[in-house]
A = this chain, B = another copy of it.
Amino acid sequence: MKRFITVDDVETIAIGAGILGTGGGGNTYIGRVWLEHELRQRAARGEPAAVSIIDADDLPDDCTTLAISKMGAPTVSNEKLAQGMEMYNCVRALEDYLKRPLAGLLIGEIGGSNSIMPLIAGLQTGLPVIDGDAMGRAFPELQMDTFSIGGVSHAPMALGDAHGNVVIFHTLDSAYRAEQYARVLTISMGGSAALAMPVVTGVQAKRYLIRGTLTLAQRMGAAVLAARKAGDDPAEVVAALGHGHVLFRGKITDVERKTTQGFARGRMTIVSFGGGQRLDIDFQNENLIARLNGEVVAVVPDLITLVQLEDGEPIGTESLRYGLRVAVLAMPAPRQLKTPRALEFVGPAAFGYHDVPFTPMPGDLLA
| Interface set of A (CB-CB < 8 Å, partner B) | 89, 93, 96-97, 158, 163-173, 177, 180-181, 184-185, 187-189
Judge whether B168 and A167 touch: CB under 8 Å. yes
**Selected A-B contacts with CB under 8 Å, 12 pairs:** A89-B171, A93-B171, A96-B170, A97-B168, A164-B171, A165-B172, A165-B181, A166-B171, A167-B167, A168-B169, A168-B170, A184-B187
The chain B residue with its CB closest to the CB of A177 is B165
A291 to chain B, nearest CB (A): 34
Instruction: For the complex, give the distance between the alpha carbons of A362 and B8 in Å.
Output: 73
The interface residues of chain B lying within 8 Å CB-to-CB of A165 are 169, 171-173, 177, 181
Instruction: For the complex, give the distance between the alpha carbons of A88 and B181 in Å.
Output: 20
Instruction: For the complex, give the distance between the alpha carbons of A168 and B170 in Å.
Output: 6
Residue among A89, A97, A169, A188 with max Cβ neighbours from chain B (10 Å): A188
Instruction: For the complex, give the distance between the alpha carbons of A225 and B242 in Å.
Output: 78
The interface residues of chain B lying within 8 Å CB-to-CB of A167 are 167-170, 181
The interface residues of chain B lying within 8 Å CB-to-CB of A189 are 181
A258 to chain B, nearest CB (A): 21
The chain B residue with its CB closest to the CB of A156 is B168
A174 to chain B, nearest CB (A): 8
Instruction: For the complex, give the distance between the alpha carbons of A89 and B93 in Å.
Output: 21
Instruction: For the complex, give the distance between the alpha carbons of A201 and B77 in Å.
Output: 40
The chain B residue with its CB closest to the CB of A173 is B163
Judge whether B185 and A163 touch: CB under 8 Å. no
